[in-house]
Amino acid sequence: MKMLIGIVLLVMGLLAGVALLLKPFGIGPLEAGSLMWFAFPLCSVGGHIVLMLGASRERMAVSGLLVGGALLLLGLAATVAQFLVSGGLLAAAEDTFSLWYVASGGFVLGGVAYALRTAGKSAQTIA
């Protein structure tokens, strides 16, 4: 049950990040309302924490790799989109603040989640 809750929270957080990523372009099935701004970081972190609670080292490594990788890719996509908008290759229908938000949140939260994949291991087992 705990794993299901963690996965649902994580998916909600990632979907909120995708909605915020697509917000400046006016595309996507979800409307990026005010709840999405809170759901992206909070559900992503909450889902990852729930998945990590009581997990074995192997499951922690897989969770950190998947969650961190997904958030880092989301941050990279937002950075590329911001680059393309500022270079004039993409036209944004709205302001691009949500791209900066997703990029910063994706890189920070994804970096922490990716680093936690080695949590609980001693320095001798890492090397």
Q: In this predicted model, what pLDDT tens digit does every residue of 72-90 receive, in sequence order? A: 999 999 999 999 999 888 8
How high is the pLDDT of residue 101? 94
Q: Compute φ and ψ for 92, nearest 5 degrees.
A: -95, 130
Are 60 and 117 a contacting pair, CB within 8 Å?
yes
How high is the pLDDT of residue 29? 78
Confidence of residue 58 (pLDDT cuts 50, 70, 90): confident
Mean pLDDT, the chain, whole residue set: 87
How high is the pLDDT of residue 125? 52
Rounded to whole angstroms, the Cα distance separating 107 from 95 reads: 21
Token pair for 13: 């957080």
Where along the chain do its domains lie?
Answer: 2-118
How high is the pLDDT of residue 19? 92
pTM exceeds 0.75 for this model = yes
The fraction of the chain above a pLDDT of 70, given in percent, is: 93
